Structure 1
Amino acid sequence: MADYLLNALQWIDGLGTWAAIAFMLLYTVATVVFLPGSILTLGAGVVFGVILGSIYVFIGATLGATAAFLVGRYLARGWVAKKIAGNQKFKAIDEAVGKEGLKIVILTRLSPVFPFNLLNYAYGITNVSLKDYVIGSLGMIPGTIMYVYIGSLAGSLATLGTATNQANPTLQWTIRIVGFIATVAVTIYVTKIARKALNEAILTSEVDE
């Protein structure tokens, strides 16, 4: 699959003024169908440079993430809802994400632990609003810039794999540390608000009884 994506990037590189649109469309589709976005992100650095590459990756990733979110919400949510009907814990987490969606989305976008493509569909079955979900995509910016920059060091698509060895180690470690902090933060935060929501749900059910 990597070879196909590299060939696609080579083709896009020769499109001239249409290259940006073709790249963003490719990235959008890749996000929806679970193709490795890392190759396209690195390739953007070669084809477009750091600034434009980062912009095009962000737009393509956001469009793809939004499309996957909508598929998850309108095609999968009903099926999932039936499966977890009556599950108080999932309901509590779902409500928690709905209330604090923007913060959670931003933190998970900053963290490299959460799989990007799968997470897009997963958010679709929660109560997070589309607005918060899209705004939360801003959390992708630091990682996007880093990988586009690394890709730009390759100089050509043929040597793309060697770019990671040339990258500034300080920059790489900075992004990793930020990602680690975000991972810990989102884990603690979700656990805290989910526990609070669950306790409220239990208390409400007891009062109703």
Structure 2
Amino acid sequence: MSASLAIALEKIQNLGVWAPIAFICIYIFAALCLIPGSLLTLGAGVLFGVVFGSIYAFVGATLGAIAAFLVGRYLARGWVAQQIEGHAKFNAVDQAVAREGLKIVLLTRLSPAFPFVLLNYVFGITQVSLRDYGLGCLGMLPPTIMYVYIGSLLGDLATLATKTTGRSRSPAELIFYSVGLVATVVVTIYVTQVAQKALDGISEGGTDVSAKR
């Protein structure tokens, strides 16, 4: 599947003004098919750069998450319930969502302990509203920016390796990229740790309940 996504990214590169729309559509499709979007997010950095890559990847991830949420809520409730049956972590999320929907969605989006693609469907069978779920997707922004930044850096390095730019990067530019990458990673790790501690506290403070069916 990773090879297929890589081929898709190569084709998107040649679509000109339609490239962002195609990229977002593929991201939505990947989310619905439970395909992790990390490769696509890295690809956004290579194709569009940090700023626009972050925007397109975040829009694609958010729309894909909302689409999966709606499918889980209205079309596949039984299947989703079977996938998470017996998982205490998801049961704790369900209980916490009943009290603080927006906060829990935001924290789980920041935490790497919860699989992004499955969590989209899981929230569909909880009590969280579509509004709170959509706003909570803002929690995907820090890791999205980090992956896009890494992708843009890898893209530049690949360009340097093939010598298609006609010039090499100066030491100052390389230092800037390196410092920016380290700063982005550090901030993302810090945010995810804070989110995980908050989720651990919520989980310890309540009792497990079965996911709503």
TM-score, structure 2 normalization: 0.77
Task: Summarize the Cα distance change of 1:16–1:79 in structure 2 as closer, same or farther, 3 Å threshold.
Answer: closer
Question: Do the aligned partners of 2:96 and 2:202 also contact (CA within 8 Å) in 1?
Answer: no
1:174 aligns with 2:192: no
Q: Cα distance, 1:187 vs. partner?
A: 2.1
Give the letter for the 2:38 counterpart.
S
Name the CA distance, whole Å, in 1 between partners of 2:188 and 2:91: 33
**Is 1:100 the counterpart of 2:100 in the alignment?**
yes
Aligned partner of 2:199 among 175, 178, 186: 186
TM-score scaled by structure 1? 0.78
SS state of the match for residue 14, structure 1? coil
Contact 1:45 1:152 (C-alpha < 8 Å) held by counterparts: yes
Q: By how many angstroms is 1:131 displaced? A: 0.7
Q: How does 1:1-209 map to 2 (within 5 A)?
A: 1-77=1-77, 94=94, 96-155=96-155, 168-192=181-205, 194-195=206-207
Q: Which amino acid aligns with 1:178?
A: V
CA distance in 1, matches of 2:54, 2:33: 21
**Residues paired across the two proteins, number:** 186
- 8 Å CA contact 1:6, 1:157 repeated in 2: no
Q: Secondary structure at the match of 1:48?
A: helix
Taking the aligned partners of 2:35 and 2:93, their CA distance within structure 1 comes to 29
For each residue in 1:79-104, what CA deviation from the matched residue of structure 2 results, as whole angstroms up to 9, or x when unmatched?
A: 7779x9xxxxx999645413311000
Which ranges in structure 2 are unaligned for 5 or more consecutive residues?
85-89, 160-177
Identity of aligned residues (%): 59
Aligned Cα root-mean-square deviation (Å): 2.8
The equivalent of 1:201 in structure 2 is none
The 8 Å contact of residues 42 and 151 in structure 2, kept in 1 or not, is answered as: yes
Deviates more, 1:61-70 or 1:173-182: 173-182
- Compute the displacement of 1:12 (Å): 0.4
